[in-house]
Chains A and B, each alone.
Chain A
Amino acid sequence: DTGVSQDPRHKITKRGQNVTFRCDPISEHNRLYWYRQTLGQGPEFLTYFQNEAQLEKSRLLSDRFSAERPKGSFSTLEIQRTEQGDSAMYLCASSLAKLAGGTYNEQFFGPGTRLTVL
């Protein structure tokens, strides 16, 4: 099964440290999304890419957060100078957007990376 994979699954870090998460989408998918899910809440959109271009960023994505998708395949999400409020599950999803439009692009989610900031 070549679904969306995320690494690591769990990360514990101390406040002020930098962390980086990786997402590998389904291989033929051209869109990749990042969401954040805090305890008791639904996922919140952070950003998405079409191929290597970052097309939209939420205002939730402060300047401490940066996401890249350098070759249009895997993506990384880096958080600098982590804060306790960054503790959450970070979910990645991918989809195949057909450029002709008029179609629905189902998002397939990975298992997430749970971040705990001490």
Chain B
Amino acid sequence: AQSVTQPDIHITVSEGASLELRCNYSYGATPYLFWYVQSPGQGLQLLLKYFSGDTLVQGIKGFEAEFKRSQSSFNLRKPSVHWSDAAEYFCAVGPFGNEKLTFGTGTRLTIIP
């Protein structure tokens, strides 16, 4: 069965600092990996996705993620965070065709001035 682990429940960073959110997955085949962001009271917005090819993927809002098969990881990074990045971030894995997604428990990001 597929699963996703986000080891950090809550992360606090200063505005302008770099960010890395961790994600580890378990999947029997080539994974389709995603990062979503959820602001309070809102639905989920797709930040970026990985299917194959270049292991460093670029997304919206200046985010990027790197797929490392040997570590079963897909960590999300941003070189300089903005106060508007405060939100909940979810890593997800899905099968080919994307019939359903399995999400991690999320990491809540707090930005301090």
Which residues of A line the B interface, CB within 8 A?
4, 31, 33, 35, 40-45, 48, 55-56, 58, 91, 93, 95, 97, 101, 104-112
Contact = CB atoms under 8 A, between A and B. Distances in A.
B51 A111 contact: no
B102 A109 contact: no
Contacts of A44: 103
Contact of A111 (B43, B90, B102, B105): B43
Q: Which 10 A-B pairs have the closest CB atoms?
A: A42-B103, A109-B43, A45-B100, A109-B44, A111-B43, A105-B98, A43-B103, A42-B90, A110-B43, A42-B106
Interface of B: 4, 32, 36, 41-46, 49, 51, 90, 92, 97-106
A97 B46 CA distance: 17
Contact of B49 (A40, A106, A109): A106
A100 B102 CA distance: 24
Contact of A106 (B4, B46, B100, B102): B46
B51 A107 contact: no
29 contacts: A40-B105, A42-B4, A42-B90, A42-B103, A42-B105, A42-B106, A43-B44, A43-B90, A43-B101, A44-B103, A45-B100, A45-B102, A48-B99, A56-B99, A56-B100, A91-B43, A93-B43, A97-B97, A101-B97, A104-B49, A104-B51, A105-B97, A106-B49, A106-B98, A107-B46, A107-B98, A108-B46, A111-B41, A112-B42
A105 B97 CA distance: 6
A107 B101 contact: yes
Contacts of B102: 45
Contacts of A31: 99
Contacts of A58: 100
